[in-house]
Structure 1
Amino acid sequence: MSSVETGRITTDIPMRLDRLPWARWHWMVVIGLGTVWILDGLEVTIVGSMSDALKPNDTGLGMSSFDIGFAGAAYVAGACVGALFFGQLTDRFGRKKLFLLTLGVYTVATVATAFAPNPTWYFIARFFTGTGIGGEYAAINSAIDELIPAAYRGRVDVAINGSFWLGAAGGSLLTIPLLDPNVIDASWGWRLAFGLGGILAVGILVVRRHVPESPRWLFIHGREDEAEEIVRSIEQEVEHETGKRLSEPHDTITVRQRHSIGIGLIARTVFTLYPRRTVLCFSLFVGQAFLYNAFFFTYGDTMSEFFGVKQTGWYLAIFAACNFAGALLLSPLFDSLGRVKMITGTYVLSGVLLAVAGMSLDSLSATTLTVFGAVIFFFASAGASAAYLTASEIFPMETRALCIAFFYAIGTAAGGIAGPLLFGWLIDKGVGESDITVIAIGYYIGAALMIAGGLVEAALGVKAEGQSLESIAQPLTVES
């Protein structure tokens, strides 16, 4: 495909999409695209609870603790690779092709995991499961932001990204019967857990087939007739549902159409035209990644090693439910109070609370630690979800999916690779010394990075609430 200019077009499509009132059609977009985060939360939580089930030679796969850690690293590596690989393809070939492909990759890989006959098969399946999920983050966030009206974009994006924790809560509760040999045979329980993920994914795929391609992507890539047809169909559906005629749009945008945009141009745009926004996203993603690893990665082991809790599923479910509640209940404020105030507030507050928890570790019990975590992550989950919102709306449309992928990969690598290495070492050291306060170091690091991210948002944040994507960052192809 050539990146040579193919024509110029003046269109009012972005303004027509942004002026729409909320309708059933938008719920279809939310359900079809957003529910995959529930799968991700389900996947991560179930896998995190399966260490003991995978170790026996007769009912599991005979895996060692190192093998299980390696499988986790394979999933993280796959997510990073998938985000970057599918991210650039999403910008080049369109949102719909990729959000169907990435969900397909996830579905096949997670079902393959359920049939794993040996550790090697399991490692490969976990890598490709991560690849599908990483690709989903890029394709889905870009599609959602380009289809949801400007007035609702903040709350929808934050709530959808926070739905990861709805899946995590469900996964925590599912592990209780699935991993109980008195309920389900030990050789089948962990396999059924992966199989359920695949079944849910197929259901989502059926709904997702009805979500259209992004009209914004279409008209920039020389397919304005398709874009016009999609928008006209949406308008007719909304008018029929509301019984009111939509107002006429008054603004237009002129762009130079291209079949594709070179990755070199994309990279130069991000790092030379928007260096402050690049620093902002880097700070937000690394901060939230370390915050979650500082607490969540150590949480299960802390409960079992220091507080003697044998079944952590109930505690994890409470923790996850508070994460989802925070993202859901606070999400409207990102549109009303604004991005800068809310991101700064949630990041700084959760960072301060985590530092206080670190200083109080020697006086906490399993219950009070869970309460601390519930309060901290009620605010942190909304802020962390807003990091994805920020990366998806403050860069030009042609770079959107790749920018989401780039910062997601950075955050995932920092939180999923460096984090577990550091915090795993702290847990071992704390257990060896019978001193829970050793893990406070991890809390302090997560707190410092989160507070720093909040301060960077206060200084460099973009007031994007209620604004069209094209006014926040003009397309690279815009006609001056």
Structure 2
Amino acid sequence: MATTESRITVASRIDRLPLSSIHRKLAFVLGVGTFFDLYDIFLGGLLGAVLVEPFHLTTLETALIISSGFMGMFVGAVVLGVVSDYIGRRAMYMINLLIYSLFSLAAAFAPGFLWIVIFRFLAGFGLGAEPPLTDIYLGEMIPRQARGRYTAWSYTLGFLGVPLAGFVGRYFVAQTSILSLSGWRWLLIIGALGALIVWFLRRNLPESPRWHEIRNNDVAADATLSTIEQQVMREHRLESLPEPQPVVVEPQKQATIAEIFSGIYARRTTMLWIFQILQTVGYYGFGSLAPVVLVSKGFSVVSSLNYAALSFLGYPLGSLLSIPLVERFERKWLIVGSAILIALFGLSFGFATFVPLIVASGFLLTTVSNIFSNSFHIYQAEIFPTRMRGTAVGIAYSLSRVTSAVLPFVALPVLKSSGPVAVFVGTAIILVVLCVDVAWLGPKSTGRVLETISH
């Protein structure tokens, strides 16, 4: 086993900083970027419902429309997540949104079904690394005592994109044509232009000093962190900062895929891989399939988008409610508890035929979904050390995109043959397995980004 040492690290210097405008700016800018990631994810479900009639889509083709973006996100999360460990968090942030913006705009002007699928895949490739990069970057830049709270605030802003996708979708779909373009094409244009604006906001983000540190570039790490420290001191009118506490750290070396399955990390990686394969069924399954499920219940496309949009209002509310919870309760048990509630409200949504009950069930489901989501986004960034975080989290998170891509090909035929009740009963069973996985294999983590190899 490698020898460890106790010393002052970038992490210990960051953790002693008082919260300042730079931390709020980071949470805001990253949250706005996540806004367009989540907008696009749930846009897939809207397109799946809206394009059936004009393109005469079969069940398989509808599944392709919904899954193409997720499959691109899978490839992007694997490739860009690993690359971010080599070129830096900020550099990857500048690349991924440009890719998304370019191909989302191309999809808006796609001449046919196949081109929409191709461009949605390529746009998804750009977005694939967005959520894990946000988790990693906030985990490396925000002081330990506020990490969970600021991550939750960032995602609260991001999740405003979900009901916006519903309400904007309902408006544009109801329009026959705007400036000679179909309403659904404007939904893609809005996402592309918004992401480009976020790209400009991100130009001045600092590179993560922790990333510089694990690349053995101590000069750059110290320069970046010293700039941040000086800014914090000026803002708080401090002459000095508290002394940082030495911590036990691992020797800096490049992480490999084999290493994330070795030692104490094997159990965590196994847990996270199983979790990511399963969690998307309960979480993204509802958001991406809700409009299609409502159409199958006999509602019109426009009415379905109305009810889905009202249900989606629970996403930002749940994210807001998670802010005090993620710092007060152990993350793993918050994940388990909220997953159980997702299963229960999903069953209620599946059985419901009365509109107020449908909307209430969907609203409650999306509310607890974001307590669940924010908890695991913080959790997965805390259970691996800095040097392997991009690789471990990026690859694991990519598996959720695979499940998201496969899900429509399973759920839509079941929906067509057996109805929404069967879909949500299957979802509930999968969420129970997820709870067992986290409860049995998941380590406790609250308030820590783990740097040690024995704890």
TM above 0.5, yes or no, is: yes
Question: Aligned equivalents of 1:307 and 1:367: distance in 2?
Answer: 15
Alpha-carbon shift at residue 82 of structure 1 (Å): 0.7
* 388-397 or 86-95, which deviates more: 388-397
- Verify the 8 A CA contact 1:87 1:405 in the aligned structure 2: yes
Q: Which one of the candidate residues 396, 403, 425 is aligned to 2:413?
A: 425
Q: Which one of the candidate residues 211, 217, 222 is aligned to 1:217?
A: 211
* 190-199 or 46-55, which deviates more: 46-55
Question: Aligned equivalents of 1:108 and 1:382: distance in 2?
Answer: 32
Q: Which one of the candidate residues 175, 185, 188 is aligned to 1:191?
A: 185
Question: Aligned equivalents of 1:89 and 1:150: distance in 2?
Answer: 26
Q: Secondary structure at the match of 2:232?
A: helix
**What is the 5 A alignment of 1:253-402?**
256-257=251-252, 261=254, 263=256, 266-292=257-283, 295-311=286-302, 312-355=304-347, 358=350, 361=351, 364-402=353-391
Question: Aligned equivalents of 1:79 and 1:231: distance in 2?
Answer: 32
Q: Which one of the candidate residues 21, 24, 30 is aligned to 1:27?
A: 24
Q: Which one of the candidate residues 128, 141, 156 is aligned to 2:135?
A: 141
Confirm whether residue 246 of structure 1 aligns to residue 234 of structure 2.
Answer: no
- Verify the 8 A CA contact 2:382 2:450 in the aligned structure 1: yes
The alignment yields a C-alpha RMSD, in angstroms, of: 2.8
Question: Aligned equivalents of 1:53 and 1:185: distance in 2?
Answer: 19
Alpha-carbon shift at residue 453 of structure 1 (Å): 2.4
* 206-215 or 404-413, which deviates more: 404-413
Question: Aligned equivalents of 1:115 and 1:182: distance in 2?
Answer: 16
- Verify the 8 A CA contact 2:316 2:367 in the aligned structure 1: yes
Question: Aligned equivalents of 1:405 and 1:277: distance in 2?
Answer: 14
Q: Secondary structure at the match of 2:212?
A: helix
- Verify the 8 A CA contact 1:284 1:453 in the aligned structure 2: yes
Q: Secondary structure at the match of 1:20?
A: coil
| Percent identity for Structure 1 against Structure 2 | 23
Question: Aligned equivalents of 1:370 and 1:165: distance in 2?
Answer: 18
Aligned to 2:442: 461
Aligned to 2:429: 448
- Verify the 8 A CA contact 2:48 2:65 in the aligned structure 1: no
Aligned to 2:102: 108
> Where does the alignment leave 5 or more consecutive residues of structure 2 unmatched?
none
- Verify the 8 A CA contact 1:90 1:138 in the aligned structure 2: no
Q: Secondary structure at the match of 1:308?
A: coil
* 234-243 or 289-298, which deviates more: 289-298
Question: Aligned equivalents of 1:429 and 1:120: distance in 2?
Answer: 26
Q: Deviations over 1:308-342 (max 9, x none)?
A: 24422322222211022112212321112221332
Aligned to 1:169: 163
Q: Deviations over 1:118-148 (max 9, x none)?
A: 4443232111101011122333321121111
Counterparts in 2 of 1:154 and 1:300: CA distance versus 1, 3 Å: same
Aligned to 1:433: none
Counterparts in 2 of 1:95 and 1:179: CA distance versus 1, 3 Å: same
Give the TM-score taking structure 1 as reference length: 0.85
Alignment length (residue pairs): 449
Alpha-carbon shift at residue 228 of structure 1 (Å): 0.8
Q: Deviations over 1:86-145 (max 9, x none)?
A: 111111221111111111111111122223234443232111101011122333321121
Aligned to 1:414: 403
**What is the 5 A alignment of 1:224-235?**
224-235=218-229
Counterparts in 2 of 1:347 and 1:118: CA distance versus 1, 3 Å: closer
**What is the 5 A alignment of 1:85-124?**
85-124=79-118
Q: Deviations over 1:261-291 (max 9, x none)?
A: 263xx32333543222123223432332111
Alpha-carbon shift at residue 384 of structure 1 (Å): 2.6
Q: Deviations over 1:331-378 (max 9, x none)?
A: 3211122213322221223334434555xx1x5412202211211331
- Verify the 8 A CA contact 1:141 1:392 in the aligned structure 2: yes
Question: Aligned equivalents of 1:177 and 1:29: distance in 2?
Answer: 32
Aligned to 2:57: 64
Alpha-carbon shift at residue 84 of structure 1 (Å): 0.5
- Verify the 8 A CA contact 1:28 1:211 in the aligned structure 2: no
Counterparts in 2 of 1:145 and 1:346: CA distance versus 1, 3 Å: same
Question: Aligned equivalents of 2:48 and 2:85: distance in 1?
Answer: 38
Counterparts in 2 of 1:88 and 1:310: CA distance versus 1, 3 Å: closer
Counterparts in 2 of 1:53 and 1:281: CA distance versus 1, 3 Å: closer
Question: Aligned equivalents of 2:114 and 2:300: distance in 1?
Answer: 32
Counterparts in 2 of 1:316 and 1:213: CA distance versus 1, 3 Å: same
- Verify the 8 A CA contact 2:322 2:370 in the aligned structure 1: no
Alpha-carbon shift at residue 10 of structure 1 (Å): 5.0
Aligned to 1:5: none
Alpha-carbon shift at residue 420 of structure 1 (Å): 1.6
Question: Aligned equivalents of 1:176 and 1:37: distance in 2?
Answer: 22
- Verify the 8 A CA contact 1:179 1:189 in the aligned structure 2: yes
- Verify the 8 A CA contact 1:53 1:186 in the aligned structure 2: no
Question: Aligned equivalents of 1:307 and 1:55: distance in 2?
Answer: 15
Counterparts in 2 of 1:101 and 1:326: CA distance versus 1, 3 Å: same
Give the TM-score taking structure 2 as reference length: 0.89
- Verify the 8 A CA contact 2:383 2:449 in the aligned structure 1: no
Question: Aligned equivalents of 1:54 and 1:350: distance in 2?
Answer: 29
- Verify the 8 A CA contact 2:94 2:202 in the aligned structure 1: yes
Q: Secondary structure at the match of 2:181?
A: helix
- Verify the 8 A CA contact 1:220 1:255 in the aligned structure 2: no
Q: Deviations over 1:174-200 (max 9, x none)?
A: 122322235725634233221211211
Question: Aligned equivalents of 1:297 and 1:197: distance in 2?
Answer: 17
- Verify the 8 A CA contact 2:163 2:313 in the aligned structure 1: yes
- Matched residue type, 1:408: Y
- Verify the 8 A CA contact 2:67 2:405 in the aligned structure 1: yes
Q: Deviations over 1:287-306 (max 9, x none)?
A: 32111355444422332232
